[in-house]
Structure 1
Amino acid sequence: MLLVDAGNTFIKWARPNPDQIFNPESVSWKNFGAVRHHELAALKSAWKKLHEERPIQHILISNVAGQYLGNILFEFLTTLKPAPLKIEWFYSRPSLGGVKNTYLDYRKLGSDRFASMIGAHSLFPDKALVIVTAGTATTIDTLSPDGTFLGGMILPGLKLMAESLAQNTAQLPDINQMNNESAVFANNTGDAILSGCLNAQAGAIERAVMTQSRQFPGVLCLLSGGAARYIAPNLPIPFRIIDNLVLIGLHTFSVQNIS
């Protein structure tokens, strides 16, 4: 089995062990990798090596990066020898993995968001959750204790937000130089933009948690995604960082063999 999370910036993959088990205290992968879209040569090399070590028979892919990238991935995977027995695309459905999809049109809920919710619910069953993925976009989704999706928010990701604000200024802030000591009130344009974006992200997450808490006291906030480590120090609420919830959700789907 090869699990693939094709996002808007990164393509992440993992090959779970046959007896792979996840719990809140253990969410690590033995075989895991991630590349940016322009690093497809490295991706192909890594997958070819995995296939040579032990043939990949089943591939499960969540792709939100568009048909063009999906075609590239499919064409490469079909060239592996021996050919994989099954290449499966993961899509949102009305109900899956204990999660009830209540989107107005269930098909339009991003497969990555749906997989993340399945992964989060599998780790914390019977728990009200706010699930934050801080990537190219920041998504904030809510689950009731019984796994019902209660809706969510989508806002520009931290880097996208900062670049948008800075495009007409002389100082483009460097997200990679951000640290936990950043002042809330800055005395220069670059730091002021970073502070504003950080606090906008943290404020949206805090509001989601506070709103969810009115109905479900003790709601748990989960953070995932590349920008989580920048946003986390600015959150005044309890949270847990759980990486690669999409892949965990895909693994849950594959283990349960839901059709």
Structure 2
Amino acid sequence: MPGILTRRLSPDDLRKRLNQAVGPYITKLPAGKVAKITDAFGEAAVQAKTIGFDMVQVHGDRMCGSFSSSLFNHRTDGYGGGPTHRARFAVEAVSAIRRRLPDLPIDYKLAVRMEDPHYGNAGILVSELPVFLPMLERAGVTSFHVALADHSALTDTIPPANHPYFSSQGCFLPFCDAVRAITDLPICAVGGLNDPNFIEAQLQDGRMDCAAMSRQLIADPEWPNKVMGGRVDTIRHCVRCNQACLGGLMAHQGVHCIYERKN
């Protein structure tokens, strides 16, 4: 924090240092502490239910994803090793919720790590999905939100239009296809989605059951109303420049959109 306050470190420098610290932290956590953390997911869900939430999402891209990743998790106990053991943290977290709330929908942010080329450091490989997905389903997951794993460059998980690999709309849909081949649970897709016709085609093809978007709703919060009202031609489409949204976030200036400058 002194480095940030004195501007010797940029927010991006801090992020890189935090990412480098994930592996040692995950690997060295005492097993008793790990169990307390996974149990706390259940208590958190109870609080969410009490104040009126209809569902919860277990974010499989933070501690769950870090424990799941062979790049970060070098433990030699029951929480580390092969994919079955690396899935234990996430399974325990979901199970803790399900024990307390038998009927609450549980969405799981499924972070997929990619190789050849390498993108993402947390999460799991596509080849590990057949191990992880059935375990998560049995634990109580009712839907999956599928995206690229994090703990790498933010411009990979929130890719701009000029990204060298994830430049196309629906850039993470191939991960959804891999998940769909294993599970019948609902799948939520994300990744540069902004065109109603494209999204509708993916829904009809069964590649996803729900479309998630953030930058597009920052560019035009009326997107859903315009689609439902037949005013598609009036949509302000996100151009995925990342200048004022991600850029504003990283500069601690708030999340905005370049369209605001034009109004």
Q: Shared fold by TM > 0.5?
A: no
Greater per-residue helix proportion: 2
Asked which structure has the greater RCO (Cα within 8 Å, sep 6+), the reply is 1
With normalisation by structure 2, the TM-score equals 0.31
With normalisation by structure 1, the TM-score equals 0.31
